[in-house]
A and B are shown apart, each in its own frame.
Chain A
Amino acid sequence: GQNIDQPTEMTATEGAIVQINCTYQTSGFNGLFWYQQHAGEAPTFLSYNVLDGLEEKGRFSSFLSRSKGYSYLLLKELQMKDSASYLCAVMDSNYQLIWGAGTKLIIKP
């Protein structure tokens, strides 16, 4: 079957760095996405990885290892507004997104 695993909840301190991991097992692979979702709102696109390596976008970076079925989202210089759920999703061979359950990130002052 298809499976996406990520931690349910993480807590970090404002100004610090946090890494949210995602492991996956899917039928085919056409890219991995990270989305941010604030409570009561729709998800917003953060990053897309299809090749191995690190993609950096400002305070956010995303890493992919296809051989290990592993990705992480790295958030630097954490701000209170970064408190949200972070969703990992993999596009399978049918170009369907398979979603993880999301990681709720709590930022403390």
Chain B
Amino acid sequence: GAVVSQHPSRVICKSGTSVKIECRSLDFQATTMFWYRQFPKQSLMLMATSNEGSKATYEQGVEKDKFLINHASLTLSTLTVTSAHPEDSSFYICSARDVQALAGGSPQETQYFGPGTRLLVL
């Protein structure tokens, strides 16, 4: 399957600092990438949809000025957590949409996930 990388895998920072997380699709171009947050023992929560060359679409309750998303190329999206606080500590996961044209049928869309970034804000 397709490969999505995320960097860093783990980050510890002080309260008030900003943290940037990168998400890259390594072997396909992704016009759309997604950013999720997952708290322990809970399901994935979609934070925002990142579209290459345009502004991200944020889910209700997600502060766009706090979670800055930039999708500058077809293989890279970045999430910056600005002025991080301890309550922002979480597992952040990106995914990239891959669309495959199938012979004689509808295109198949699949989301491939990055390995995740564990953020701890002290």
Contact = CB atoms under 8 A, between A and B. Distances in A.
B97 to A, nearest CB: 8
Nearest to B44: A99
A79 interface: no
Given A48-B110, A97-B46, 18 more contacts: A30-B109, A31-B108, A40-B91, A42-B6, A42-B115, A43-B113, A44-B113, A45-B1, A45-B110, A45-B112, A50-B108, A91-B109, A95-B97, A96-B49, A97-B34, A97-B111, A99-B46, A102-B43
Nearest to B111: A97
Interface of A is mostly: loop
Interface in B82-109: 91, 93, 97, 106, 108-109
Interface of B is mostly: strand
Contacts of A31: 108-109
A7 to B, nearest CB: 14
A33 B44 contact: no
A95 B115 contact: no
Interface residues of A, number: 21
